[in-house]
């Protein structure tokens, strides 16, 4: 071998030995350590993750197979067969025991032809529609009986409603006597009087329900009404029970409805240019400026009866007659109305209540005070010439009283019976009552001014009704004088001047009903 080749092989051997020596320890250390993937160097383990929420267990309803009577279909054809034979055939096919109440006429002929009908459809056709009997399927038995029984629940108060309205009547009664929607009795009378009063029969709602059910039931049927529990028990033939059931369901829909009434009672102290009343024709022009054309409608004149809502022309300016106005543009027209009233004089808010009223019931809002006064009655003279009489303390309401009765129609419109009344103390009247001898006893009775109206209007939900036109005028004397000189005796009259001033205020009632 040549020396050059020996050196080459030797150099190669040395290089291999060096490489093996360097790689040996690293491989041994790697074998001794735990083998790790490359991803473990980038994302080292952080421990066990927290347990998650428990898995929701789906509740599986047990499978209840339909009964053979419900799944089986029946085909019937009878031409004049007696009812007993038809019932026996149905019970046998349905594998049911047959129980018939005593006293039923089982000889009634049955004419029926059914194809692929369920058991309930077959019994409805044969028993209910054909014989006007009732039936029940329970515990493997078919029971045929004369009457169908049912208990109804009606949520209504066990009270009697009594509403009395006397416009132009007596206000010098106790506050308790006037709590029926603005009514009372008074010495303050007028030639024109409007009186409405519910009789005791119409005010008893539960009595009315029983009377209606008595008229709907058959002569053999039974109706039991229990107002304390709010329940009605009825047992009657199926043909009558269907009518009774519809009546009670409709009754429950009607009595549970409520009306939320937003009432604004305002008083306008008229300016000098509007002493004859608010000029309502100017309101229409202002509504047009704010894009509420056609929002104002005259729905009624006071005393004209039920409103027709035909949109008659507004009364001429300055007439001051009581009228009802309807606003149909919602909040926009109402805000325009308030601003318009401020332009007619000084606006004062008497009350701004909100009250929820049940359908067909009455509500009374009273804001004010009670004025006590002495009343004398039963004047007699005994045998000695002494005057005998009975005295008592009565109270007069001073302030505002508003009676409202809503009635919801089938089309959603609301019929409102409204009676607003305002009373103010004007002065006192001294009444002399003779007593024993020549002495005289004086009794002071109040003089009360009265402003009231009674009307019925029909409005839509959210539509505002405006009642206005009741004007009160106060006349007073004012004295102007020159300081010091006007107080000189005898000559002071030359430096004094007396003048009469008049102040007119008009009552405005705004009502906005909404269904609840």
Q: pLDDT of 336-353, one tens digit each?
A: 778 888 888 888 888 888
Answer yes or no: is pLDDT of 264 > 70.
Answer: yes
Token digits of residue 196: 């409405």
Q: Confidence class of residue 133 from pLDDT cuts 50, 70 and 90?
A: very high
Task: Calculate helix-pair angle for 281-289, 331-344, nearest 10 degrees.
Answer: 130
Q: Where are the domains of the chain?
A: 74-146, 147-166+195-256, 263-301+328-373+395-426+446-515
Answer yes or no: is pLDDT of 307 > 50.
Answer: no
Distance CA 340, CA 363 (A): 29
Residues 55, 99: contact at Cβ < 8 Å?
no
Answer yes or no: is pLDDT of 316 > 80.
Answer: no
CA 281 remoteness from chain centre: 34
Answer yes or no: is pLDDT of 104 > 50.
Answer: yes
For 254, residues 6+ apart whose C-beta sits below 8 A from its C-beta are: 359, 360, 408
Lowest-pLDDT range, 124-138, 214-228, 412-426?
A: 412-426
Q: Please give the residue that has the higher pLDDT: either 284 or 40.
A: 284
- pLDDT at position 403 is 85
Answer yes or no: is pLDDT of 45 > 70.
Answer: no
Q: Is 469 exposed, middle or buried (0-12, 13-18, 19+ CB in 10 A)?
A: buried
Q: Which residues of 429-462 are buried (b: 16+ CB within 10 A; e: fewer)?
A: eeeeeeeeeeeeeeeebbebbbbbbbbbbbbeee
Start-to-end CA span in the chain (Å): 119
CA 1 remoteness from chain centre: 124
Q: Confidence class of residue 277 from pLDDT cuts 50, 70 and 90?
A: confident
Q: Which of 414, 405, 407 is nearest to 454 (CA)?
A: 405
Q: Please give the residue that has the higher pLDDT: either 168 or 455.
A: 455
Quick one: CA dihedral 335, 337, 340, 342, positive or negative?
A: negative
Q: How far is CA 479 from CA 240, 493, 502, in A?
A: 81, 11, 14
Distance CA 183, CA 175 (A): 10
Looking at CATH, the fold of the domain delimited by 74-146 is given as Phage tail protein beta-alpha-beta fold (3.55.50)
Q: Report the mean per-residue pLDDT for the chain.
A: 72
| pLDDT tens, residue by residue, 73-99 | 888 888 888 999 999 998 888 888 999
Q: Which of 120, 404, 429, 136 is nearest to 262 (CA)?
A: 404
C-alpha atoms less than 13 angstroms from C-alpha of 173 in its C-beta half-sphere: 15
Q: What percent of the chain has pLDDT over 90?
A: 11
Angle at 367 between CA 361 and CA 368, to 5 degrees: 140
Q: What DSSP line would sit under 283-336, residue for residue?
A: HHHHHHHTT-TT-EEEEEETTS-S-----BPPPPTT----EEEEE-STHHHHHH
3-state SS, residue 424 = strand
Please give the DSSP secondary-structure letter assigned to residue 462: T
Whether pTM > 0.85 for this model: the answer is no
505 backbone dihedrals φ, ψ, rounded to 5°: -125, 145
Q: Please give the residue that has the higher pLDDT: either 439 or 233.
A: 233
**Interval 159-183 mean pLDDT:** 45
Answer yes or no: is pLDDT of 292 > 60.
Answer: no
Q: Which of 16-25, 32-41, 306-315, 404-413 has the highest mean pLDDT?
A: 404-413
- Looking at the domain covering 147-166+195-256, what would its CATH class be? alpha beta
Residues 151, 111: contact at Cβ < 8 Å?
no
What number of other Cβ atoms are within 10 A of residue 355's Cβ?
14
- pLDDT at position 319 is 35
3-state SS, residue 108 = coil
Distance CA 407, CA 364 (A): 15
229 backbone dihedrals φ, ψ, rounded to 5°: -95, -10
Residues 263, 402: contact at Cβ < 8 Å?
yes
Q: Please give the residue that has the higher pLDDT: either 16 or 487.
A: 487
């Amino acid at each position: 071998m040549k020396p050059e080749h020996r050196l080459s092989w030797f150099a190669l051997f040395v290089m291999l030995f060096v490489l093996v020596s360097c790689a040996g320890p690293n491989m041994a250390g790697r074998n001794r350590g735990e083998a790790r993937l490359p991803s473990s160097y980038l994302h080292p383990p952080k421990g066990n993750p927290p347990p998650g929420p428990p898995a929701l267990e789906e509740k599986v309803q047990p499978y209840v197979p339909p009964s053979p009577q419900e799944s089986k279909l029946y085909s019937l054809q009878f031409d004049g067969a007696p009812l007993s034979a038809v019932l026996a055939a149905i019970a046998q096919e349905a594998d049911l025991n047959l129980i018939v109440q005593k006293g039923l006429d089982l000889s009634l002929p049955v004419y029926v032809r059914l194809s692929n009908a369920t058991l309930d459809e077959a019994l409805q056709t044969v028993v209910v529609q054909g014989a006007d009997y009732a039936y029940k399927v329970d515990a493997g038995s078919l029971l045929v009986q004369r009457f169908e029984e049912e208990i109804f629940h009606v949520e209504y108060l066990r009270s009697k409603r009594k509403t009395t309205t006397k416009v132009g009547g007596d206000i010098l009664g106790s506050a308790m006597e006037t709590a029926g929607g603005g009514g009372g009795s008074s010495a303050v009378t007028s030639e024109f009087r409007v009186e409405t009063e519910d009789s005791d029969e119409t005010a008893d709602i539960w009595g009315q329900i029983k009377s209606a059910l008595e008229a709907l039931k058959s002569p053999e049927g039974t109706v039991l009404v229990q107002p304390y529990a709010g329940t009605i028990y009825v047992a009657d033939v199926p043909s009558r029970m269907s009518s009774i059931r519809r009546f009670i369901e409709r009754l429950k829909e009607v009595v549970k409805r409520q009306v939320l009434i937003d009432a604004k009672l305002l008083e306008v102290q008229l300016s000098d240019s509007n002493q004859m009343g608010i000029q309502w024709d100017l309101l229409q022009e202002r509504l047009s400026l704010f894009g509420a054309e056609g929002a104002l409608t005259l729905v009624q004149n006071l005393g004209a009866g039920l409103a027709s809502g035909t949109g008659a022309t507004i009364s001429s300016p300055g007439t001051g007659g009581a009228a009802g106005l309807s606003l149909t543009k919602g909040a926009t027209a109402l805000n325009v109305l308030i601003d318009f009233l401020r332009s007619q004089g000084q606006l004062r808010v008497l009350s701004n209540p909100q009250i929820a009223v049940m359908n067909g019931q009455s509500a009374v809002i009273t804001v004010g005070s009670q004025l006590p006064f002495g009343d004398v009655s039963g004047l007699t003279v005994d045998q000695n010439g002494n005057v005998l009489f009975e005295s008592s303390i009565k109270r007069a309401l001073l302030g505002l009283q508003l009676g409202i009765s809503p009635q919801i129609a089938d089309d959603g419109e609301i019929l409102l019976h409204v009676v607003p009344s305002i009373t103010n103390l004007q002065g006192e009247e001294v009444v002399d009552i003779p007593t024993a001898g020549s002495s005289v006893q004086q009794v002071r009775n109040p003089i009360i001014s009265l402003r009231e109206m009674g009307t019925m209007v029909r409005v839509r939900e959210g539509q505002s009704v405006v009642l206005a036109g009741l004007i009160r005028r106060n006349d007073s004397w004012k004295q102007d004088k020159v300081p010091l000189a006007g107080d000189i005796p005898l000559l002071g009259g030359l430096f004094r001047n007396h003048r009469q001033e008049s102040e007119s205020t008009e009552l405005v009632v705004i009502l906005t009903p909404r269904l609840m």
